[in-house]
Structure 1
């Protein structure tokens, strides 16, 4: 084959390629289908199907996770040296972190924070850390000196600043006295805001606190600035892909392909309500009972809700009720509508059947 024949063949190939592209683009039609037309299945049915999927390579996954157990002593040394452990890699690391804590952190008090929840009270977490540290200090001083240290003001009355100062106090003259905090999914939805991350960084920077955390989102490091990474958190990065399914973590997120994905699922709503105070649960129950008893109404007027809750001694003022309602709205448990009389009414975006199940869960 001479040069002319080669050039002719290449020219013919190029001509046919662009001709095919032109014909393909001209005959291609845009789909008129919409996402809203997809026949979505019920979320509970979808979860049942997902749960019945048999895991693959189970033996290899178990061997991989078991291999990480040889690193427990190293991880403990890193914690004792003042660093924080950050676990990353594909797969749920919840079981691995908790196994490490149960086997290697038995001498220390441990607090677990589930970052995959929709809301987390970090003030309560810090109070718990302070109480556990104080108990640990009293126990060690009693063992060594035979006498108890001076009394301490109740921690639940202290400010966040005072609590962090106590956790970082150099006056606790006890060697290797610290408490551990395990944060599953530190990049979770309930902790992604800057205030929560700064609070966690301040906790990790305390001299009597050691943190073990996990991340799963590829952009999780963007949550922190240079100071937080190298000075406050002081991460020791551990690449521990487990390839384990996110069974527990996924329970708190509605499936995208599930029916009614825009409304709060019963299971998610139940989890959120169980994390609230009994008074808040009872306020929600009042609203739910009214909605089930008056299915034809557009919702319950806020004034009527306040009157009913005040009669039942659930709230003492409109401000208290508004704080509960704000929390409900933040979690999309309720919606506000304006009825024909111009009144603001509250409604729960669930069917009566779903409401009955929800009320039964929180009673």
Structure 2
């Protein structure tokens, strides 16, 4: 009898609970909208984030020193033809660049910033071929006739021809190789299947050694067994650094924040600081022309080349094209068709933002 009373009491309590929920929500609807959210300025949010005091600095410094003891092992594995893949919590950018600048001084190093949203993989292959060509010439000054017969320039060659040149045996200089550093090989500009296939083919070339970092938990799904074991030949290293993704995060908008002129200038300024002084000067020429001619659709490439040549900023059209490719990869410069049918260059910033940017790079 008592058990039944308890069951009825529990049943009545649960029934009343669900009835109360139905009555409380049936006649009320939320009037709140996403548009009502007061978004914080992105620059203010980034400034606040940058002012957060770092913790455990001594422990992190000790951790980084422990990784430096592995540098000699990493160099040995690269020489044996393996690739190095760094993973773990925190940005690996500073760690890999420190390794490249201190332990890879005997070979050429080409850096690819995979965290950028657009990367032209063929331009990467062209750059690697040009670097290898320069290395071969420097090693064979006394016997230039033995150099491989490759028609110049490389930008007119197909992707298969470029890969064949990077992979070909060049008469006794198999020890000559280029180290390719890829920050975030799982970045947004490299995630598609075709690009990953080309990166794997580049990594498999005899004159290429690859060091890369990844951060996405599903990044290994980008590769099949052949790519991992035969082409990349990864040696996996768990190297958590606990470092903030300051540089990588600049190219991604913050949640609940809106951008502005200040943020656009700051982002462009940080990108320009990573480029060479000559590249900055070329960008400044284009920016000054755009400010002086606000009604024009852009600046013709030939005009830009003439001015840069007169100011000794570039020595050839190829050099200018390499700068422009870098600008386009970083989304600093875009191309559009002029009314007369000619392609012209323009900087996708407002006049106010462009004026501030010119002042910053002039300092």
Compute the TM-score of the two structures, normalised by the length of structure 2: 0.71
Cα deviation per residue 1:130-175 (whole Å; 9 max; x = unaligned)? 1364267549xx8xxxx77724568861324333222212344246
The farther-off stretch of 47-56 and 232-241 is: 232-241
Q: CA deviation at 1:212?
A: 0.6
Name the residue aligned to 1:157.
Answer: 153
Deviation at 1:271, TM superposition (A): 5.9
Task: Using the TM superposition, name which of 130-139 and 186-195 deviates more.
Answer: 130-139
Does the residue aligned with 1:265 lie in a helix, a strand or coil?
Answer: helix
Structure 1: distance between partners of 2:243 and 2:104: 23
SS of the aligned residue for 2:41 comes to: coil
Structure 2 unaligned spans of 5+: 309-323, 337-344
CA distance change for structure 1 residues 62 and 311 in 2, over 3 Å: closer, same or farther? closer
Query: Compared with structure 1, are the counterparts of its residues 47 and 103 closer, same or farther at alpha carbon in structure 2 (3 Å cutoff)?
Result: same
Show the counterpart of 1:321: none
Q: 1:109 Cα deviation (Å)? A: 2.8
Count, aligned residues: 331
Relative to 1, partners in 2 of residues 1:80 and 1:350: Cα closer, same or farther, differing over 3 Å?
closer
CA distance in 2, matches of 1:81, 1:198: 22
Q: Which residue, out of 281, 291, 311, partners 1:288?
A: 291
Return the offset for 1:357. 1.4
Distance 1:232 1:277, change over 3 A: farther
User: Following the alignment from structure 1 to structure 2, what is the Cα–Cα distance between the partners of residues 164 and 307?
Assistant: 32
The answer to whether the 8 A contact 1:83-1:210 is kept is: yes
The residue that corresponds to 1:320 in the other structure is none
State the secondary structure of the residue aligned to 2:110. Answer: strand
| Secondary structure in structure 2 of the residue aligned to 1:207 | coil
Q: The residue matched to 1:210 in structure 2 has which SS? A: strand
Aligned mates of 2:3, 2:36 — CA distance in 1: 58
Aligned counterpart, 2:124: 122
After TM superposition, the structure 1 = structure 2 runs for residues 72-91 of structure 1, keeping only pairs within 5 Å, are 72-91=71-90
Residue of structure 1 equivalent to 2:34: 34
Counterpart secondary structure, 1:100: helix
Residue 284 of structure 1 deviates from its aligned partner by 5.1
CA 1:279 to 1:24, structure 2 compared with 1: closer, same or farther past 3 Å? same
Distance 1:59 1:282, change over 3 A: same
Q: 1:231 to 1:21 in 2, by over 3 A?
A: farther
Q: How does 1:101-180 map to 2 (within 5 A)?
A: 101-120=100-119, 121-131=123-133, 133-134=135-136, 137-138=139-140, 150-151=146-147, 157-158=153-154, 159=157, 160-174=159-173, 176-180=175-179
Instruction: Describe the SS at the equivalent of 1:199.
Output: helix
Hey, what's the Cα distance between the residues in 1 that align with 2:4 and 2:261? 65
Q: Which range is displaced more, 208-217 or 110-119? A: 110-119
CA contact under 8 A between 1:65 and 1:96: conserved in structure 2?
A: yes
Unaligned runs of 5+ in 1: 292-299, 316-323, 337-345
Q: CA deviation at 1:54?
A: 0.6
What's the CA shift string for 1:47-89, capped at 9, x where partnerless? 3222211112333333333333344344334323322121122
* TM-score normalised by length of structure 1: 0.71
Moved more, 78-87 or 25-34: 25-34
How large is the Cα RMSD of the aligned pairs?
Answer: 4.4
Write out per-residue CA displacement over residues 1-32 of structure 1, whole angstroms, 9 at most, x where no aligned residue.
Answer: 96435534543453354345434533653243
* 1:155–1:216 distance in 2 versus 1, CA, 3 Å: farther
1:32 is paired with a residue whose SS is: coil
Other-structure match for 1:297: none
- The answer (yes or no) to whether the contact 1:253–1:268 under 8 Å persists in 2 is no
Q: Take 1:329 and 1:112, find their aligned partners in 2: how far apart are those partners?
A: 13
Distance 1:150 1:79 in 2: 27
Q: After alignment, is 353-362 or 255-264 more displaced?
A: 255-264
1:163 and 1:328, CA in 2 relative to 1: closer, same or farther beyond 3 A? closer
In the alignment, structure 1 residue 357 sits paired with structure 2 residue 360:
no
Could you report, residue by residue, the CA deviation over 1:185-219 in whole angstroms, capped at 9, with x for unpaired residues? 12223433444333322210102211010112233
